[in-house]
């Protein structure tokens, strides 16, 4: 009984961190869930990544729907990026089967902390340039190449896809933060679904109870965070996102030392 309550507690904390990160920053749930399941519940890294990607699907879908209601999603460029992401997610997932457990899941920790500090110190309150300022062909190429890189990272590490996507959308394509997050969770819905299917198909047996708990807790917190984010002004959203990513980055670094 004590073991069950401990599993519930870890899944709740992991889901809360992942849901807030997804709803506020379009972050992959695997960034938080994977290391927590590996560290505290002794679940193999490859299995933990599959569970985390499964938690991403509904959380990202619900968050995307919330952002879409406020018009904070660029569907056209999102589809271009999604094609690049999906084309490489399965490849990354296959490659990850050849990597030792200790290597998986750690890539996005530094990215989480760096982006958190970036949004705190240099907030993005408006688009860096209008969508028409760069040629349509250039924009498509940037989105497709960026999406392919993101998909490879997401499938391989099971984490970092959301952070990389947020960086590409804000730094490379010049989106303001709210639209970048909305577009990010839209794409992450499909990349997470593909990554989860790939992981389970390639031999990762899901821990059903833990999977269900992580999905429910992540979904609830992601929906709450997305509703708050869509109503917040740009500067406040940058601060909230920065604080959450910075705190999560520090926590993940501490977990990695355990």
The per-residue pLDDT string of the chain (258 residues; one tens digit each, 9 = 90 and over) reads: 578 889 999 999 889 988 988 888 777 777 778 878 887 888 887 788 788 888 889 899 999 999 998 888 888 878 888 887 777 766 776 776 665 544 444 555 666 677 678 778 877 666 655 544 556 677 777 777 877 777 776 666 655 566 677 777 877 777 888 888 888 888 888 877 877 887 777 765 668 889 999 999 999 999 999 988 888 887 887 887 788 778 877 877 776 676
DSSP character string of the chain: -HHHHHHHHHHHHHHHHHHHHHHHH---THHHHHHHHHHHH---HHHHHHHHHHHHHHHHHHHHHHHHHTT---HHHHHHHHHHHHHHHHHHHHHHTTS-GGGTT-THHHHHHHHHHHHHHS---S-SS-GGGS-HHHHHHHHHHHHHHHHHHHHHHSSSHHHHHHHIIIIIS---HHHHHHHHHHHHHHHHHHHHHHHHHTT----HHHHHHHHHHHHHHHHHHHHHHHHS-HHHHHHHHHHHHHHHHHHHHHHHH-
- In the chain, where the domains are located: 2-257
The pTM of the full predicted model, rounded to 2 decimals, is 0.77
Return d(Cα 112, Cα 99) in angstroms, integer. 22
Return d(Cα 60, Cα 66) in angstroms, integer. 10
């Amino acid at each position: 009984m004590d073991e069950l309550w401990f599993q519930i507690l870890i899944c709740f904390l992991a889901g809360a961190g992942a849901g807030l990160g997804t709803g506020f920053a379009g972050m992959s749930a695997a960034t938080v869930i994977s290391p927590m399941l590996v560290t505290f519940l002794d679940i193999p890294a490859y299995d933990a990544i599959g569970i985390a990607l499964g938690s991403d699907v509904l959380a990202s879908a619900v968050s995307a729907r919330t952002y879409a209601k406020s018009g904070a999603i660029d569907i056209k460029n999102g589809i271009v990026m999604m094609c690049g992401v999906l084309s490489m997610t399965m490849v990354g997932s296959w490659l990850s089967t050849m990597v030792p457990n200790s290597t998986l899941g750690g890539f996005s920790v530094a990215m989480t902390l760096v982006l958190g500090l970036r949004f705190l110190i240099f907030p993005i309150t408006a688009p860096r340039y209008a969508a028409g300022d760069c040629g349509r062909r250039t924009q498509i190429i940037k989105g497709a190449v960026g999406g392919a890189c993101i998909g490879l990272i997401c499938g391989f590490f099971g984490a970092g896809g959301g952070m990389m996507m947020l960086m590409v959308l804000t730094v490379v394509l010049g989106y303001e933060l709210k639209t970048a997050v909305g577009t990010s969770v839209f794409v992450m819905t499909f990349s997470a679904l593909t990554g989860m299917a790939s992981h389970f198909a390639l031999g990762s047996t899901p821990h059903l109870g833990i999977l269900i708990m992580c999905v429910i807790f992540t979904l609830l917190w992601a929906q709450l965070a997305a509703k708050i984010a869509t109503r917040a002004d740009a500067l406040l959203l940058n601060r909230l996102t920065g604080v959450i990513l910075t705190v999560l980055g520090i926590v993940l670094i501490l977990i990695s030392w355990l």
